[in-house]
Structure 1
Amino acid sequence: MRTDDDSWDIKTSVGSTALFVAAARALAGRAPDAPARDEFAELFVRAAGPEWVDLLEGRAPEHPLLTPDFGAQFQQHQIARTRYFDDFMTAAAAAGIRQVVILAAGLDSRAYRLPWPDGTVLYELDQPQVLAFKRNTLTAAGHKPIAERHEVAVDLREDWPKALREGGFDPDAATAWLIEGLLIYLTPAAQDQLFDAVAALSAPGSRVAIEQMDPLPAEAVAAMSEGDDSGSEWVSMIYNEPRTDSTEWFAGRGWTGQRVRLTDYIRDLGQTLHSAGPQQQSLISLVTVTR
């Protein structure tokens, strides 16, 4: 169960979800028609321990990520949203934005794998143990970031804008913000506080990409809570409550935006939706707003 002052490393609580998501990206990226690929995802997963290596090598057939219902859908979800946010970053760079902030960066590897123009400065915010795991794993493998990468080790429930500014962030420069796989782990009030901070730090021309999720139906929460360990653990980490729609929140403050349902976006990519099992994908939207 979450508490107001809980913390985590890469293998515990919210941190462990970054590994789970990286494993999904690694597996989904193996498909010949994968809409995106993250060549660093497998590196992170293998560095996490033998049980994760077993998953990648097919020696854990009962793992939730390998099931034909949940696993197939979740892999599709992760690789599709990777494509959406990769395209967002590429478009922001093409528009001349040279400052990027990734909130709750987890095992995001975009600083290392996207073709950033010279002069791009990228800030990654997360718990110190999570950032250290990523840095140590990539350094040991001989990889260097393409953008000028800055770690900001901070809990997003604390005064992260202060930590970001102290890390070199320029509030007068247009910024591309990424809020991926985060909001469901914040209370609705904390989400709105996060949006307030992002808006306050955003110069004209800034853009924000957001993944949002509608609350799970009560019956789905009950089934997960009584089901396998991974589902019940995940439900205990999220705040499954009604919250402000991100597109409407920013629109009400003069931003323009667009929102697409994940299921529609997957179809737009030419992919066939995996229809077996719970339809969690239908609750997820991908949003881009511009100031």
Structure 2
Amino acid sequence: MTRTDNDTWDLASSVGATATLVAAARAAASREADPLIDDPFAEPLVRAVGVEFFTRLASGALPTPDDQAAMGVSRMIDSMAVRTKFFDEFFLAGAAGPATSGAGAAGPATSGAGAAGPGVRQAVILASGLDARAYRLDWPDGMVVFEIDQPEVIAFKTETLAGYGAAPGCERRAVAVDLRDDWAGALRAAGFDPQAPTAWSAEGLLGYLPPEAQDRLLDAITELSAPGSRVAIDCVPRSSQEKQDESRKRMEATAEHWRDQGLDLNFGDLVYLGDRNEPGAYLSSHGWQVGSASINELLSAGGRATFDEDEPMNQLYYISASYGGAR
């Protein structure tokens, strides 16, 4: 279903289903013989959502190799593994402080974008979905992690993990609000301190926002960030209308293969591919020092096969930035 300004969803439909898909890919990546990540909560959360396709993906009961290739399953799992590793290391590096400055998984490509000052003790995960970093990362004492997502998503994850006896490894503060509403006000009301350095993540988010909403989000992050704050984002570069049309056709072809396996989800209907500001350049113009790494750099560093030049996923890149306080 094509997006509208006030559309709604749950974890089994529309944009919400993409959060479950990502969790299923994290679960599959965690099951590998030589895993890049370890997310023991991903599979239980996916099973609780109850969509058969996602459960099969999470548990390793994948389709035949030919079907996997047509659906891009193995490449998606690799991509989610290195993406998860990138954001995991971003948060842990920020919490550790300048001794581990840099952008973690991004490596040398992000030099100059590391932590400034002492380690941060406040993190904000935007559109947290089924992300379980508050539970599974080795956070330092005094760490406060804010998770922002729709009320139904927050409630589902909180209740499901509690039912498994899981407890956060930090002070987790759930902020149940849609990012289209006054999330900044809700974040403040939950005890967020705009005078303290913050580590922010916008993972798998920008493509689901219209261009103007992306700018508003980055503006709000800047407004709420004290000097020494950090932000990590995964990005897709600007492209011509021809490239956008090609991307939609590829998404539709992949969706057809997914339907054969029982999942009716077309990314082409969910994302906004129109012209927008490049996030790194936008942040640079607002006082941030930005570094970046391509998806292929992350895949290569993780010992995974890289994308060919003609594959759309080849264009993905990751930025990590630190804020100096200039307005």
What residue in structure 2 maps to residue 108 of structure 1? 131
**Post-superposition offset of 1:217:** 3.4
Which residue type is aligned with residue 100 of structure 1?
A
Unaligned runs of at least 5 residues, structure 2: 98-118
1:61, 1:174 → 2: CA distance? 45
Deviations 1:144-184 (A, max 9, x none): 00110011111111111111101110000000001000000
1:171 aligns with 2:191: no
AA matched with 1:46: R
- Structure 2 distance, partners of 1:64, 1:22, is 23
2:144 aligned with 1:145: no
Structure 1 residues 38-77: aligned runs within 5 Å: 38-49=39-50, 51=52, 52-59=54-61, 61=63, 66-67=68-69, 70-77=72-79
Correspondence for 1:234 among 267, 277, 281:
267
Flag as ranges the 4+ runs of structure 1 deviating above 6 A.
62-65
The total of aligned residue pairs comes to 290
The 8 Å contact of residues 24 and 65 in structure 1, kept in 2 or not, is answered as no
Answering whether residue 300 of structure 2 is matched by residue 288 of structure 1, we say: no
Q: Which residue of 2 aligns with 1:8?
A: 9
Residue 32 (structure 1) shift: 2.0
1:195-210 aligned within 5 A: 195-210=218-233
Which deviates further from its counterpart, 194-203 or 209-218?
209-218
- Is the alpha carbon distance of 1:62 and 1:48 closer, same or farther for their aligned partners in structure 2, counting shifts above 3 Å? farther
Residue 269 of structure 1: CA displacement? 2.3
Cα distance in 1 between the residues matched to 2:29 and 2:320: 24
Q: From the superposition, tell whether residues 119 and 2 of structure 1 become closer, same or farther in structure 2 (CA, over 3 Å).
A: same
Greater displacement, 56-65 / 143-152: 56-65
Q: What TM-score, normalized to structure 1?
A: 0.93
- Which residue number in structure 2 is paired with residue 94 of structure 1? 96
SS across alignment from 1:217: helix
1:8-67 C-alpha deviation (Å, 9 max, x unpaired): 121121111011111111112222222212111111111122614344445552699944
What whole-Å deviation, never above 9, does each CA across 1:88-112 have from its counterpart, x for those lacking one? 0010100110000000000110000
2:145 equivalent in structure 1: 122
Structure 1 spans left out of the alignment, 5+ residues:
none
Q: Find the aligned partners of 1:63 and 1:130 in 2 and give their Cα distance.
A: 33
Q: State whether residues 29 and 36 of structure 2, in contact with CA within 8 Å, keep that contact through their aligned partners in structure 1.
A: no
Instruction: Give the 3-state SS of the residue equivalent to 1:220 in structure 2.
Output: helix
Residues of 2 paired with 1:191 and 1:63: CA distance?
37
Aligned equivalents of 1:187, 1:44: Cα separation in 2 = 29
Quick check: 2:194–2:224 contact (8 Å CA) kept in 1?
yes
**How far apart are residue 68 of structure 1 and its match?**
6.0
- Are the counterparts in 2 of residues 93 and 116 from structure 1 also a CA contact under 8 Å? yes
How far apart are the structure 2 equivalents of 1:232 and 1:192? 27
Measure how far apart 1:282 and its partner are.
Answer: 1.0
3-state SS, counterpart of residue 281 of structure 1: helix
* SS of equivalent residue, structure 2 residue 266: helix
Taking the aligned partners of 1:258 and 1:42, their CA distance within structure 2 comes to 33
Residue 286 to residue 231, structure 1, CA distance change in 2 (3 Å): farther
Letter in 2 for 1:282: N
Aligned residues of 1:46 and 1:53 also touching (Cα < 8 A)? yes
Secondary structure of residue in 2 paired with 1:146: coil
Identity %: 42
Evaluate the alpha carbon distance shift between residue 63 and residue 249 of structure 1 in structure 2; reply closer, same or farther with a 3 A threshold: farther
Query: Per the alignment, do residues 71 and 275 of structure 1 end up closer, same or farther by CA in structure 2, a change over 3 Å counting?
Result: farther
Residue 277 of structure 2 aligns with an amino acid whose one-letter code is T
